[in-house]
Amino acid sequence: MKKLLVLALAMFMILSLAACNNTAPPASISNSGQTPPVGKSGGEKMKIGISLPTQREERWVLDKEAFERVAGELGIEALIQIADNDAGRQQSQCENLISQDIEALIIAPHDADAAANIANMAKEAGIPIISYDRLVQSAEIDLYVTFDQYKIGQLMGEYVVRNVESGNIVVLSGDPGDPTCIPLKQGAMDTIKSKVDSGDYKIVMEQECMDWEPKEALKHAENALTANNNDIAAFIAPNDGTAGGIIQALAAQGLDGIVVVTGQDAEEDAIARVIEGTQSMTVYFDCAEMAEATLKATVRILTNQSYSDLGRSGKEFNGKIDVPTLEFPPYELNKNNYKDFGF
């Protein structure tokens, strides 16, 4: 009888241990990766694809670095592809990511209209798609994470209004395939409208810069200066790269540091130009903050949790649906306050 009791107790302990060992650990997204998010395949890590448009600009290098760092902290396997400003390459790369059984796709589209094909492929595969910085058009998107593009334009316009009483103004915008150019330019135009309406400002050129290329801005600036006998009071440049092209054209005429030039992205070279006085201002935003929020929101989407606390929530229409958004604020950086941003 005693032997039977011992055997029964031993069997109970073996079964209890087996039950404990078959219990999966809970997923966590808030402890810097101490317990990695569990993937849908039962593995230890979620596999998330990330498609970025370029590494030609410093800000996109910083985005990539931020995604890599945060993915490591959260215990996520991040598969990052760079499209090099080629919509066809971006589609091919995303097809490859989808074939690798990713659980979500984060995409900053080079061409927002063409990227609708990528979004449709992801949806057919049952993969949530998150639009990063640039909104994929005319497709079902689970989330759009961005900076307040209209506010960025406003900050540029406000600087011009504060520092230019009157004169000829050149307004440049970014790549026509990038939908962020629309609210960005609108913010600037709305801000200078009263000066234009009064006749204080005369807009003598409006041009797009393909692929946000500095050489495009250089060409437009040279043409504007030639057509107006160098009589330009301000250039509203859509980013720091194009600002650099404009300043190159101004320097050739001895006008660098005299004509107001805006920018955005707070690139290292741009901040140096702001300090020396050849670029008037830039717009600062925290790429690391946005990349972190994007990855955390993606994990929460995959685990059916709310992400509304990660940024300012809203909606933006992309031609098909009102896409849920998380938005982050930009800030003016100039020669008087650049130290406030740690530079």
Query: Do the Cβ atoms of 292 and 70 come closer than 8 Å?
Result: yes
Instruction: Specify the pLDDT at position 9.
Output: 38
**In the chain, domain spans:** 47-148+286-330, 149-284+334-341
Tokens representing residue 151 in the block: 């506010």
Tokens representing residue 290 in the block: 């946005």
The rounded distance, in Å, linking the Cα atoms of 171 and 13 is 76
The amino acid sitting at 206 is E
| The CATH number of domain 47-148+286-330 is 3.40.50.2300 | yes
Q: pTM value?
A: 0.81
The rounded distance, in Å, linking the Cα atoms of 311 and 327 is 6
Of 119, 160, 170, residue with least CA distance to 142: 119
**Secondary structure element (H or E) that encloses residue 208, with its range:** strand 201-208
Largest CA distance in the chain: 110
Q: What is the pLDDT of residues 29-43, one digit of tens each?
A: 444 444 557 666 556
Q: SS3 for 112?
A: coil
Fold held by 149-284+334-341? Rossmann fold (3.40.50)
Instruction: Specify the pLDDT at position 26.
Output: 31
The rounded distance, in Å, linking the Cα atoms of 139 and 173 is 25
Instruction: Specify the pLDDT at position 45.
Output: 86
Lookup result for tokens 């209890």: 16
Who contacts 62 (Cβ-Cβ below 8 Å, separation ≥6)?
Answer: 287, 288
Tokens representing residue 51 in the block: 């498609």
The rounded distance, in Å, linking the Cα atoms of 75 and 170 is 47
End-to-end CA distance of the chain: 80
Q: What is the pLDDT of residues 41-93, one digit of tens each?
A: 556 789 999 999 999 988 899 999 999 999 999 999 999 999 999 999 999 99
Tokens representing residue 52 in the block: 């970025």
- 59 in the Ramachandran plot: left (φ > 0), alpha (ψ -120 to 50) or beta? alpha
Instruction: Specify the pLDDT at position 40.
Output: 63
Instruction: Specify the pLDDT at position 10.
Output: 41
Who contacts 100 (Cβ-Cβ below 8 Å, separation ≥6)?
Answer: 47, 49, 79
- Residue 242 to residues 208, 237, 256, 339, 340, Cα–Cα distance (Å): 10, 6, 14, 24, 25
Positions in the chain whose pLDDT score sits under 70: 1-36, 38-43
Who contacts 268 (Cβ-Cβ below 8 Å, separation ≥6)?
Answer: 58
Sign of dihedral through CA atoms 35, 39, 122, 313? negative
Phi, psi of 230 (to 5 degrees): 70, 10
Of 279, 113, 94, residue with least CA distance to 182: 113
Sign of dihedral through CA atoms 265, 269, 273, 278? negative
The rounded distance, in Å, linking the Cα atoms of 142 and 94 is 17
Q: SS3 for 65?
A: helix
